[in-house]
Structure 1
Amino acid sequence: MTATKHSNTSSFDQPLLSESPHPPPQQYVIVLPPYPHPHRHRLLRKSCRRSLYCAATALLFLIAAGYLFWPSDPEISVVRLRLDRLHIHTRPKISLDITLDLTIRVRNIDFYSIDYDSLLVSIGYRGKNLGFVTSGGGHIKARASSYVNATLQLDGQEVLSDVILLLEDLAKGAITFDTVSGINGTLGVVFFDLPLKTKISCEVIVNTRNQTISRQSCYPEVSEVS
């Protein structure tokens, strides 16, 4: 009896599920950066512009505040100069007796008060100093003015060659005087007192007929009043 052999090769030739001839396709994951919303760019631009406008406005405000509140010298001017007495002596030497009444205005243009110790005014004629007068101190409020009256009286003032020129000016009805005014004091800035020294020179033309100032031109001086 012949035994029949059963071949099991077919069962071994079948591929297993884990050994598939076609492996599954590989999967890739691409990570992209987050893309901002299109309206976000507009918001950022508006924010930058707003910041620039705010910075420019703040800078302009600081410049304007510094210009307004920065301490400056007071303004000094001669508002009245009256020639009350003028007498010429020819003996024993040529000399003058002269009396001048002055009103000086000190204007404080700052936002701080001023305390000055004294006001000195010197008067000259054609480059020759005739004399000076000193007044007492005072207090000037912020953005205010103070008027100081002073009288300069000279007796026996020698003028020599200037007498002829003075007589010519009197005949014309106008005399030009040179005045130098100066104050020493302190400027009250917040909690501090800053030293203050200012000096101004003026050319004053006095009308001898009505005893008024017809013209005045002033400019600040650098040196101190002595």
Structure 2
Amino acid sequence: MASPKTSEPPYYPLPSNQHHQNYVVYLPSASRRRQSRRRILCTAAIVLLAAAVYFLWPSDPDLDIARLRLDHLRIHTVPTFAVDATLRLTVKIINVDVYSIDYSSLVVSIGYRGKNLGFVTSDRGHVRGMASSYVDATLELEGVEVLSDVIMLVEDLARGSVPFDTITEVRGRLGVFFFDIPLKVNQ
């Protein structure tokens, strides 16, 4: 009876020479493969966490005076040179974050040529995440003395535009998930 054929190749012993050379082959062990996977996963987790913090970190909202309209202007010359004016303001609050903003106050201060003329305060409001909101306000200036700037004011009125300086401050809270983070912005 013939021996059954096996699928294994036959074993041939290495030839014996006088000069024996030893070869060592290092194969990565399973524990080293696990360690390298852990390092890759830790690095990926750190990179993802840093990216999440960068994109989700709360930033200040942008505030712009969208509209400033002069409703009433009266110039007094007696007893001193003074101006009465009524200004209508529209302030645009732009929230660039994914979080909502609940503001408790919005204060807009108006100045002319470095002198503070007055300010207006608005009531509470809400701006959704990645959205904008408009706040209307009326500023009434009575008896503002601008004697030193009369010539510049007359020139500005003749040109048809008066360059006012504005400083806007918003106070409120950012709605981050279930937490409220205090917010104060000056622009």
Name the CA distance, whole Å, in 2 between partners of 1:78 and 1:191. 31
2:174 aligned to which of 164, 187, 195: 187
Q: RCO (CA 8 Å, sep 6+): is it higher in 1 or 2? A: 2
One-letter amino acid matched to 1:69? L
Q: Indicate the SS of the match to 1:72.
A: coil
Q: What are the superposed Cα offsets for residues 79-131 of structure 1, whole Å, 9 maximum, x if unpaired?
A: 11112222222122211121211110112222222111111111000111111
Partner in structure 1 of residue 79 of structure 2: 92
Query: Where do 5+ consecutive residues of structure 2 fail to align?
Result: 1-22
Deviation at 1:171, TM superposition (A): 2.4
1:61 aligned to which of 23, 37, 48: 48
Matches within 5 A, 1:120-131: 120-131=107-118
Seq. identity, %:
55
Query: Where do 5+ consecutive residues of structure 1 fail to align?
Result: 1-34, 201-226
Name the CA distance, whole Å, in 2 between partners of 1:124 and 1:179. 6
Deviation at 1:37, TM superposition (A): 5.8
2:90 aligned to which of 84, 95, 103: 103
Q: Indicate the SS of the match to 1:68.
A: helix
Q: Which has the larger radius of gyration?
A: 1
Number of aligned positions between the proteins: 165
Q: Please report the TM-score for the alignment, with normalisation by the length of structure 1.
A: 0.65
Partner in structure 2 of residue 144 of structure 1: 131
Q: Please report the TM-score for the alignment, with normalisation by the length of structure 2.
A: 0.77
CA RMSD of aligned residues (A): 2.5
Q: What are the superposed Cα offsets for residues 169-213 of structure 1, whole Å, 9 maximum, x if unpaired?
A: 22233321111111111122222222211111xxxxxxxxxxxxx
Name the CA distance, whole Å, in 2 between partners of 1:65 and 1:36. 47
Partner in structure 1 of residue 59 of structure 2: 72
